[in-house]
């Protein structure tokens, strides 16, 4: 904090245009340093957002958006006409998740899904 005060005092003698830039730079570097965990929180939030967007892409590539009459660009939370298709898709995914965790879903089935998925991703 002491070094910042010294730099701010040095800035006072500078012409107006430089003092604004330098004091802004000082404030930015202090706030970035003080942020600490907030920066990592934003990073994990960005990572989560990226993953969710990629999952949406996978749903579209699998043809599920078309199968459930969901057009790209629809707002699934605000548009009344997309609520039913979104609820139906979610219900299907919940059922799939339930079956996936069933003991009858064997390793060979998952290998087959992986093979088909890799093939589709290469197309």
| Average pLDDT score over residue span 25-37 | 49
| Average pLDDT score over residue span 27-36 | 49
Q: What is the mean pLDDT of the chain?
A: 77
Give me the torsion for CA of 115, 89, 76, 121, rounded to 10°.
Answer: 10
If 0-12 CB within 10 Å is exposed, 13-18 middle and 19+ buried, where does residue 115 land?
exposed
- Tell me the whole-structure pTM to 2 decimals: 0.60
Whether the predicted pLDDT of 42 surpasses 90: no
| Average pLDDT score over residue span 95-101 | 86
One DSSP character per residue, 19-55 reads HHHHHHHHHHHHHHHHHTHHHHHHHHHHHHHHHHHHH
pLDDT attached to residue 30 = 46
Q: Are 32 and 42 in contact (CB under 8 A)?
A: no
Q: pLDDT band at 36, cuts 50/70/90?
A: low
pLDDT: which is higher, 84 or 40: 84
Specify the 3-state DSSP secondary structure of 57: helix
pLDDT: which is higher, 2 or 112: 112
């Amino acid at each position: 904090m002491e070094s910042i005060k010294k730099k701010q005092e040095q800035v006072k003698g500078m012409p107006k245009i430089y003092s604004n830039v330098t004091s802004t730079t000082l404030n930015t570097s202090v706030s970035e340093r003080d942020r600490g965990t907030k920066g990592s929180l934003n990073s994990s939030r960005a990572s989560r957002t990226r993953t969710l967007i990629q999952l949406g892409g996978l749903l579209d590539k699998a043809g599920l958006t078309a199968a459930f009459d969901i057009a790209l660009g629809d707002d699934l939370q605000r548009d009344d006409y997309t609520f039913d298709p979104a609820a139906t898709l979610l219900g299907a995914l919940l059922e799939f998740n339930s079956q996936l965790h069933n003991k009858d879903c064997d390793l060979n089935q998952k290998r087959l899904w992986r093979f088909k998925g890799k093939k589709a991703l290469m197309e």
